[in-house]
Every structure is written in structure tokens, then in C-alpha cells.
Amino acid sequence: MIYLDNAATTRPSDGALARAQHFLTECYYNPSALYGGGAEAGRLLTEARSFLVSRIADPAQFSLVFTSCGTEADNQAIFSAARRGNAVTTQGEHAAVYESFKELKNRGVEPRFAPVRADGSVDADALIEMVDAETSLVSVIHVSNETGAINDIAQIARRVKQKNPRAVFMSDGVQAFGKIDVRLTKEIDLYTVSAHKIGGLKGTGALLRRKSYTAISPYLHGGGQENGLRSGTENVFGIACFYYAAQEKFSSMAEDGVRLAQAKERLWELLDKKIYSRISPQDGSPCILTVSAAGRRGETLQRMLWDMGIAVGTGSACNSKKPHSRVLQACGLDQRMLDGVLRVSFSPSNTAEDAKAAALAMNEAARAFGGN
């Protein structure tokens, strides 16, 4: 199986699993326990925390709260920060942010959604236009999970703070962390990440928080773990996997980025342009290429490809009860384009040969579609 649905989830890293095994079978102690074993587990958490922060931010400025997933981190950030006035985000957000913003309405905060461009990136001018003196939170996805478009969050954050210094700025970094170079600048307050998109396990995420931003509140109350911000015994094994997988990804991120961008473009080159049109931007994430075989159904192509040994994602569903991708609709795609969306997403374990095989199979499947 050639796995090219890495934006959905990645295969857990063998190396990370092997190293983390120790914390599953031997050092299984509660990190809050006051004997030696507990201390060892606790040290792992400290080490992991400081490594993960240091890769993308100044550890003197940022701390990190481990959560159970990216969605939890997004929710905690949003409902802590958006408590009054209005909150501004984009139409290109992942559901974890988008649906939480819709929920804000029920809590007396007005959500505002800035439009996106055809490639899925936010129209920054329109977003800034929506920010006013009453804005308590601005959230902009770093890398679009649907198209791979990269938003310049440092610049957007700067413009937000120029207009309203009191507004909190957060970004969902789930598709950026460990995949592209990320630097949290002084205008960014909150950033969310997830382990299973970079070779870690499902069930582990994190919220990075500017230390000077203290208004964050816990969802789960209890034993006071994670500085009182996220009670519940820590997922030591999951966090160890996250840590070790991140070490692997960051150690070769620059080279991988160049190589995967080439593989991605090679795939695009080989696709039959009479069938496929490109949705992803040229300067997007090296890991995501979204295309559409207009008039065909992405979900059906996806299963045909699966039977040919290739796993890819889709932006739509062959189903009248489930609407098309909300984000791609916001990008302005018409019905026929929305039907045929396929998302090919890479991880460093993919090769140029994978890309070639996928392109040929995608052409073949689309030609066989409908018995044509």
C-alpha cells in the first residue's frame, strides 16, 4: 500500500514506538508519584515539553500544555480567549476551530468568518477589516488541511495587534508543526499541534501558550496536572511517542521539505490535465496536493485507488446527506469540481516513485470511471 493520506493521519514511527516502549512496559509509573519511577516518567514529560516548544518558539516565552488531541487544544484556546465582544476567524479553518466559533454565538460572543481565496488561504485584508476594538480573539489556521495553503500568521498577527493590541491571536498549527518551518513571533499567543500527523499516536496533542498570556482556563478539573490547565494523569507513552517522532521529523525537516515538494510537483506534472485541475497553490505545504477530477466523484476514485494499492484523501463525499467540503465551497469551487476532489498528502517516508505510481493510478482510475 502506498499511503498518501498523511494529512488525515500518519503511520506511527517505528523508531519512536521502539524508544517509547520503555514508558509502556517498564516505566509505567504515574508521573506524579513521589518515588523514583514516578520521577523518571515526570522527567520525560519535562524533556518532551521543552523539546517540542524549543523547535518552534522561545522556551523563555512559551509553555506547553499536553492535551488529548488537536481539537481539545483548539477548544481550550478558543473558549478561554473569546469571552466578550466578537471573535474573528477564517472560512478555511478545520472543523475543530470553525465549529467552536459557531458555538461562541450561543455564549454571547459574535463569531466573524473572513473569506478565503481560491487556494484556501485567507484574504488577510478582509480579515483585518473585521477586527475592531471589541475583538477578543483572532484565529487563523497556519496550513490549510484541505489545500495545503500557508497563511503568513506572523504578518497577520502583527497587523491584528496593530489594530487591537488587546486581541488574542491563535493559530491551528496541526498541519504545519514538524512539516514546515514555524517560528512563533511575539504577536502570536496560542498555537495548537497534534502528534499523529507527524508519526506520533492518536490521542496526543498540545496547546502552546505565551507565558504572559494567563487568561487560559482548564476544561478538565481534577488532580491539577499540566499546571492546573489540564487535569488527568498524563498520557506518558503517547507523549514519549510524540517527542521521539518530533525529534525524527525536525532532524530532517529541511531536506524532507525540498524532496517532498519535488515529489508533489512531479505528481502534478504526471496527472492528465484534461481530467485533473489543481486547487492547491504553488507555494503551499510540501505535503499536500489537492486536485479535482471535475464531474467524477472523489469518493469513488478514492475506493478505486484503494483497490489499486493507493490510499489518498478526498474533499467531498458521494452522499447527498453529507454536504461537500465547507472549506472548498468557500474557495468558490463549483459543484462539479467539489464532487471530484482528491487530496494527496505526503510524509517523509514517501518517495518520488510513490508520487509517480499515484499519478498513473489516478489517471487510470479517472479514465475507468463510469465505465468510460
Partner 1 sequence: MENLEKVIIVRYAEIHLKGKNRGYFERVFTVNLEKALKGLRHELRRTSGRYLVAAFDERDADEICARISRVFGVHSYSVGYRVPNDLEHLFTAAKVICPQDGTFKVDTHRADKKYPLTSPELNAEIGARLLAEYPGLKVDIRSPQSTVCLDIREDGSALVFGSFEEGVGGMPVGTSSKGLLLISGGIDSPVAGYMMAKRGMDVNFLHFHSYPYTNEQAKDKVVELARILSRYTGGEEVSTVKVTHIQEEIHKKCAAELNVTLLRRFMFRIAERVAQMRGAKCLITGESLGQVASQTIEGITSSNAVVTLPVLRPLIGFDKEEIIVRAKKIGTFETSVLPYEDCCTVFLPEFPAIKPKLPYIEEEEKKLDIEALVQEAIGTLERIPLR
List residues with catalytic annotation.
318
**Minimum separation from the CB atom of position 363 to partner 1 (A):** 16
Q: Measured from the CB atom, is 139 or 300 closer to partner 1?
A: 300
Q: Measured from the CB atom, is 180 or 275 closer to partner 1?
A: 275
**Minimum separation from the CB atom of position 91 to partner 1 (A):** 24
- Cell numbers at residue 309, please? 494499492
Q: What are the helix (H) ranges across the chain?
A: 14-20, 22-25, 36-56, 70-81, 95-104, 124-130, 153-163, 236-251, 253-270, 298-307, 326-330, 335-339, 352-368
The H-or-E segment that residue 343 falls in is: strand 341-345
Burial call 221-251: b when 16+ CB within 10 Å, e when fewer: eeeebbeebbebebbbbbbbbbbbbbbbbbe
Q: Measured from the CB atom, is 80 or 300 closer to partner 1?
A: 300
Q: Measured from the CB atom, is 139 or 314 closer to partner 1?
A: 314
322 DSSP assignment = S
Q: Measured from the CB atom, is 165 or 371 closer to partner 1?
A: 371
CA distances from 57 to 160, 179, 206 (A): 20, 15, 14
Instruction: Kindly list the residues in this chain that would bind partner 1 in the complex (CB under 8 A).
Output: 297, 299-300, 303-304, 306-307, 318-322, 370-372
**Minimum separation from the CB atom of position 296 to partner 1 (A):** 8
Side chain identity at residue 270, one-letter code: L
Beta bridge partners of 2: 310
Main-chain phi, psi angles of 286, to 5 degrees: -65, -10
**Minimum separation from the CB atom of position 100 to partner 1 (A):** 23
**Minimum separation from the CB atom of position 322 to partner 1 (A):** 6
